[in-house]
């Protein structure tokens, strides 16, 4: 579901730009954001379980556009689901099943438009689809990586590590992960909207918020890791966090006011959201090892930290329950990262085509 209302709130700092501004640079790409659009052209073939190269052609067209400006793409694919998103993925699975049943019913009625509309919503864009793209990327020496878990944190890690200069995605959540330069709404002529996190200071409602407070904001109004507090939207959440600054003060106010229904365990819910946005597992393509988006403080540092950003000491039990599992066999993570094995089953990954 992402963070509803975030892009409109950032309208004052959105800049119209063009790919020629990134000539000779490297850009990370949210591959599944392209796949979701690419799959539209293959809808009928997928319904009839036929082979198709239409969704691959969509990627080739986009990659050729980048190549025209001598931009080096670095595609990032989603991996396994995070434990924190189990309920979200379950809901999406049920929705896909319902739409598949609708599609079948409409096809039987010869109502093909409604059938295809419903079927498109039912498609599970699984790793075999990604493998089709990966095989093309490998054959053409184009950089790519399959994240151990979510592409969002992996994209930001590549930028943070200096391996790319910006990120192309339709997901504004990346800014909460710490993305510095987000390029969104890319069209076929190379125009897009650029958002730089350094410009947050130009928006009064965001200007004084640190990284901890931004994650508190999205915990209140809702994000992929928690549905949020009923009747608290982004604007209300921003004003509350700006006024009360940290979780303890905020909960005291909200519970005293008795206007909103606050879960008794909201402090733990927030920690899970904060940890997913801050310490999620990623893969380091330089060392070929799994790591985290930001370093996890050691037990000693955790005890000595003065937490000037309004943070609280790390709860390691909650932390490791939500950021994704680290396998004893490091080679598993490597094989996932290069698209050799399925991130869910760990069996050999084979292209749908």
Task: Work out the end-to-end distance of the chain between its first and last CA atoms, rounded to an integer number of angstroms.
Answer: 30
Q: What is the pLDDT of residue 304?
A: 61
Q: What is the pLDDT of residue 1?
A: 55
What pLDDT digit, counting tens, does each position of 124-161 carry?
Answer: 999 999 999 999 999 999 999 999 999 999 999 999 99
Please give the CATH number for the structural domain made up of 6-200.
3.40.50.1010
Please determine, for residue 176, whether its predicted confidence score (pLDDT) is greater than 80.
yes
Q: What is the pLDDT of residue 192?
A: 99
> What gap in Å lies between CA 287 and CA 270, rounded to an integer?
32
pLDDT (mean) for 292-318 = 77
Count of residues for the chain?
Answer: 353
Q: Where are the domains of the chain?
A: 6-200, 202-329
Q: What is the pLDDT of residue 215?
A: 96
Query: Would you call 28 helix, strand, or coil by DSSP?
Result: strand
For residue 22, what are its two tokens?
């990134």
Average pLDDT of every residue of the chain: 94
Contact 207, 200 (CB under 8 A): yes
Instruction: Tell me the DSSP string of 37-54.
Output: HHGGGGHHHHHTT----H
> What gap in Å lies between CA 181 and CA 170, rounded to an integer?
13
Question: What is residue 223's DSSP assignment?
Answer: B
Q: Which residue has the tokens 């939500």?
A: 322
Q: In what order do the strands lie in the sheet with 143-146?
A: 15-18, 191-196, 181-184, 166-168, 26-30, 72-77, 143-146
pLDDT band at residue 88, thresholds of 50, 70 and 90? confident
> What gap in Å lies between CA 88 and CA 218, rounded to an integer?
16
Torsions phi, psi for 302 (to 5 deg): -60, -35
Contact 38, 55 (CB under 8 A): yes
> What gap in Å lies between CA 73 and CA 318, rounded to an integer?
36
pLDDT band at residue 220, thresholds of 50, 70 and 90? very high
Instruction: Tell me the DSSP string of 334-350.
Output: HHHHTTSB-TTT-SBP-
Please give the CATH number for the structural domain made up of 202-329.
1.10.150.20
pLDDT band at residue 89, thresholds of 50, 70 and 90? confident
> What gap in Å lies between CA 294 and CA 202, rounded to an integer?
26
Any long-range contacts for 300-309 (C-beta under 8 Å, 24+ apart)? 309/210, 309/211, 309/212, 309/213
What pLDDT digit, counting tens, does each position of 309-335 carry?
Answer: 556 789 999 999 999 999 999 999 999
Q: Any alpha helices (H) in 109-195, and if so which ranges?
A: 112-122, 127-139, 151-160, 174-177
- Largest interatomic CA distance in the chain: 68
- Closest to 68 (Cα-Cα) out of 158, 236, 188: 188
For residue 197, what are its two tokens?
């996190």
For residue 188, what are its two tokens?
């076929």
What pLDDT digit, counting tens, does each position of 246-289 carry?
Answer: 899 999 999 888 889 999 999 999 999 999 999 999 999 999 99
């Amino acid at each position: 579901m992402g963070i509803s209302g975030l892009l409109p709130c950032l309208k004052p700092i959105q800049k119209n730009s063009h790919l020629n501004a990134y000539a000779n640079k490297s850009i990370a790409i949210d591959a599944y954001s392209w796949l979701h659009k690419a799959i539209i052209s293959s809808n009928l073939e997928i319904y009839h379980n036929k082979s198709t190269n239409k969704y691959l052609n969509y990627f080739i067209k986009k990659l050729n556009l980048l190549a025209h400006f001598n931009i080096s793409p670095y595609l990032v694919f989603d991996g396994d689901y995070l434990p924190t998103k189990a309920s979200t993925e379950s809901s999406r699975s049920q929705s896909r099943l319902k739409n598949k049943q609708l599609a079948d019913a409409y096809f039987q009625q010869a109502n093909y438009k409604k059938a295809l509309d419903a079927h498109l919503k039912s498609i599970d864009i699984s790793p075999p689809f990604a493998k089709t793209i990966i095989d093309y990327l490998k054959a053409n020496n184009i950089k790519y990586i399959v994240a151990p878990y979510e592409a969002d944190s992996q994209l930001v890690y590549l930028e943070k590590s200096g391996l790319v200069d910006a990120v192309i995605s339709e997901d504004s959540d990346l800014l909460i992960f710490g993305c510095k330069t987000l390029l969104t709404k890319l069209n076929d002529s190379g125009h897009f909207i650029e958002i730089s996190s350094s410009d947050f200071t130009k928006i009064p409602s965001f200007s004084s918020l640190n990284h901890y407070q931004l994650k508190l904001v999205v915990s209140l109004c809702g994000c992929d890791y928690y549905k949020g507090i009923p009747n608290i939207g982004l604007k209300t959440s921003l004003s509350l966090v700006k006024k009360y600054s940290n979780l303890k003060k905020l909960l005291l106010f909200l519970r005293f006011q008795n206007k909103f229904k606050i879960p008794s365990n909201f402090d733990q819910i927030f920690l899970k959201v904060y940890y997913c946005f801050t310490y999620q597992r990623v893969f380091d393509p330089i060392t070929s090892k799994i790591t985290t988006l930001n370093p996890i403080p050691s037990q000693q540092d955790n005890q000595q930290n003065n937490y000037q950003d309004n943070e609280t000491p790390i709860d390691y039990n909650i932390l490791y329950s939500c950021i994704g599992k680290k396998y004893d066999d490091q080679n598993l993570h490597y094989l996932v990262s290069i698209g050799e094995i399925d991130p869910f089953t760990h069996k050999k990954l084979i292209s749908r085509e």
